[in-house]
Amino acid sequence: MYVSDDNGTSWRAVTSAGLNQRFILSLTFDALGNLYAGTYRGGVYKTAQPLTSVEPVAELPATFQLFQNYPNPFNPVTVIRYSLIVNSVATLKVFDVLGREVATLVDEKKAPGVYTVSWDASGQPSGVYLYRLQSGKFVDIKKMILVK
C-alpha cells in the first residue's frame, strides 16, 4: 500500500499493516487496476499491486423446478422459467385444455442451470393453456391464461 500526502503528486510506501485511518471517504480504481482510498484526514492511499478480480460463478439450482409464467394472464407473449440440476434432455411443451399440443418451446439437451423461454401465442385463441416440463424423471405442469 502507498500513501500520498500531497493529493497524489508523490507516493511513499506504507510499511505498516495497511491503512492507519479508520474513516474512508471514497474508493476508486484507475485504468491499471490500482485502488485508491481517500481518508477523512486528507490522506490518499494506493495499493502496491493492481487488484484483480474474477466474475462470480452463477449458483447452480438445487432442484428441478418449473416456475409460474409471467405475466399471467398474458397477451400475446409470456415468459416461462425453469431450472435443471443435471445434464439432461429438457422438453417444454404447451397444450390447450383438451390436451392437444400447440407448441414445443424446448426439446434439447441442457446443462444444469436456470433458463427462460418466451412463448408468442399470437396465433392461438384466448383461453387456458398448460405448459409441461419433462427432464429425465422430473415432470411438472402449470396453467397459464391467454386473454386477447
Which residue range is the domain that position 83 belongs to?
65-146
| Sign, CA torsion 79/147/138/101 | negative
Nearest to residue 107, comparing CAs of 93, 87, 121?
A: 93
- Is 56 part of a structural domain of the chain? no
Residue 33 shares a structural domain with residue 93: no
Do 147 and 104 contact (CB within 8 A), yes or no? Answer: no
pLDDT in tens, 60-113: 888 899 999 999 999 999 999 999 999 999 999 999 999 999 999 999 999 999
- Is 60 part of a structural domain of the chain? no
Q: pLDDT grade, residue 19 (50/70/90)?
A: low
- Is 51 part of a structural domain of the chain? no
Local structure of 83: helix, strand or coil: strand
Residue 69 shares a structural domain with residue 31: no
- Is 109 part of a structural domain of the chain? yes
Looking at the chain, the whole-number percentage of residues with pLDDT higher than 90 is 57
Residue 40 shares a structural domain with residue 84: no
Question: Residue-wise over 94-120: b if at least 16 C-beta within 10 A, else e?
Answer: beeeeeeeeeebbeeeeeeeeeeeebe
pTM of this prediction exceeds 0.85: no
